[in-house]
Amino acid sequence: MTDRIMNHKILGTIQPELVPFRWNGEIIHGAEGESLAAALLANGIRTLRRHEKDGKPRGIYCNIGHCSECRVTVNGERNQRACLTPVEKGMDVEQQTELPHLVKGDDAHV
């Protein structure tokens, strides 16, 4: 499970304001202003992207904008780092998938 930590014995209690946004067309909720990476994880979504070359799943790695593993498409704009992008109400977020192989054809991946 990847629940939110509402009560923390040292940091106290939080009550995040949840807003709806879209993930691959489906409406889910995130806390406004938190990172997309955190919001997706709170919804149990670990696979943020499928690798361009082989379609293998990729998720959060560094969580501070350095590794670029968490790239997603936000409101049509590709390659936005989910860990650096704050959740906004009504945002449209999509997972990126493997790319067609330009030399060998669509279904030949190496």
Partner 1 sequence: MFDTIIIGAGPAGLSAAGILQEKQKVLVLDEYFHAGGRLLGQLYEEKKGKWWNGLEIARKLVSDTQDKTEIRLSTSVYDVELDDTYTVHTTSGTFRSRHLIIATGSREKSNPLPEWDLPGVMTVGAAQVLTNFSRVRPGDKGVIVGINPLSMVIAMELGYADIDVAKICLPPENLLSTQKPEDAFETLVSLGHSAPSRFISTGAGLAGKAKPIHPAALKLFPKNGIRAMGLPISIKEKIIRINGTEKVESVTVQKTDSKGKPLNGKTREVKCDFVCISDGLAPLSEIGSLLNLKHVYAESLGGYVPLHSEMMETELPNLYVAGNVTGIENAKVAMYQGQLAAHKILGDEDAAMRSLSAITHERKNAKVKFHKDLLQGRETVETMWREIEKRKAE
Annotate 30-61 with b (16+ C-beta within 10 A) or e (fewer). bbeeebbbbbbbbeebeebbbeeeeeeebebe
Give the shortest CB-56-to-partner 1 separation in angstroms. Answer: 7
Give the shortest CB-40-to-partner 1 separation in angstroms. Answer: 9
d(CA 11, CA 109): 48
Closer to partner 1 by Cβ: residue 4 or 22 = 4
Please choose, from the candidates 13, 60, 19, the residue with its C-alpha nearest in 3D space to the C-alpha of residue 41.
60
The 50-89 site mask, x for binding partner 1 (CB under 8 A), equals: -x----xxxxxxxxxxx--x-------------xxxx---
Binding region for partner 1 (CB under 8 A) = 1-6, 8-11, 14, 16, 33-35, 38-39, 41-42, 46-48, 51, 56-66, 69, 83-86
